[in-house]
Amino acid sequence: MMRTLLLLIPALVLSAQTAPVHKAAATSPAPMTNFKISGNANAAVEIDAYTDYECPHCARFFAEFMPQFSADYIKTGKVKFVHRDFPITQIHPHAQLGARFANAAGELGFYDIVVNQIFKTQDAWSLYGKNTGDIDASVAQVLPPGAMQKVRELVKTDPRLDESVKTDVDMAMNVDHINSTPTIVVVSNGKREPISTIMQMPYSIFKQYLDQKLAGK
């Protein structure tokens, strides 16, 4: 997995049939809801996390980093958290489909549970496991049958799912200039600071760095 260092944090991180002939106005689907955002929308510090559903390091990120981070900063309202999709499709053939399932579930209010389930079951479907690509079977384990059917319909037909991913990928490449996952971006005082080494960093060091940001330092 690529591990490009994109940020040097001072002093060891401290210092993505033709239209009807009659003239009925065409209506575009409503934009997707903001299920990727959690925590305090008005917080002074925003944390964006770029992940790829087929990336083993991202699975570790959600299993090992996110529970403590969520307890310390998201659930307490200290930060605004944005989960962004960055499927590296050149090496991960099922990553885009994973994002489609997660975002379809998000439209129905099941985003977090499906995100965690897709990462948790990587070995069952990913290139590095059984390589079946059967993300549907994994998601069906945690959703009620009716909701699962609606998710399947959205995955097959809703163009907004790919548009949402493209928005995140464009931001990753053109704004934050990242090329590896997981990468988090700390946004404060008008600056965006990517950290591509988050899983190589002790949580205590990151916490000290983030607490300084929250204190305005």
- Nearest partner of 81 among 143, 128, 42, 39, judged by Cα: 39
SS (H, E, C) 110-163: CHHHHHHHHHHCHHHHCCCCCCCCCHHHHHHCCCCHHHHHHHHHHHHHCCHHHH
22-69, pLDDT tens digit by residue? 333 334 456 566 899 999 999 999 999 999 999 999 999 999 999 999
Q: Average per-residue pLDDT in the chain?
A: 88
Residue in the structure block whose two tokens are 């330092």: 217
pTM to 2 decimal places: 0.85
Say what the pLDDT of residue 5 is.
34
* 131 domain-assigned: yes
2 has pLDDT over 50: no
* 31 domain-assigned: no
> Residue 164 belongs to a domain with what CATH number?
3.40.30.10
For helices 95-107 and 160-174, angle between their N-to-C axes, nearest 10 degrees? 120
Say what the pLDDT of residue 165 is.
96
* 17 domain-assigned: no
Provide the domain count of the chain: 1
* 10 domain-assigned: no
Q: Which of 31-45, 83-97, 103-117, 149-163 has the lowest mean pLDDT?
A: 31-45
Residue in the structure block whose two tokens are 């300084």: 212
Mean pLDDT of 75-87: 98
Task: State percent of the chain over pLDDT 70.
Answer: 85
For residue 8, name the pLDDT band (cuts at 50, 70, 90): very low
Mean pLDDT of 95-111: 98
CA distance 80 to 91: 30
Q: Are 119 and 63 in contact (CB under 8 A)?
A: yes
CA distance 120 to 135: 11
* 112 domain-assigned: yes
* 169 domain-assigned: yes
The residues facing 194 across adjacent strands are 185
* 217 domain-assigned: no
Q: What is the domain range of residue 163? A: 37-206
* 30 domain-assigned: no
168-209, pLDDT tens digit by residue? 999 999 999 999 999 999 999 999 999 999 999 999 999 999
Say what the pLDDT of residue 172 is.
97
Q: Where are the alpha helices (DSSP H) in the chain?
A: 10-13, 56-60, 66-69, 95-107, 111-120, 122-125, 135-140, 145-157, 160-174, 203-214
Say what the pLDDT of residue 32 is.
62
Radius of gyration of the chain from its Cα atoms, rounded to whole angstroms: 18
Output DSSP code: residue 22: S
Q: Tell me whether residue 27 is exposed, middle or buried, using C-beta atoms within 10 angstroms of its C-beta: 0 to 12, 13 to 18, 19 or more.
A: exposed
Evaluate the omega torsion of the peptide bond into residue 31 and state whether it is cis, within 30 degrees of 0: no
Amino acid present at 9:
I
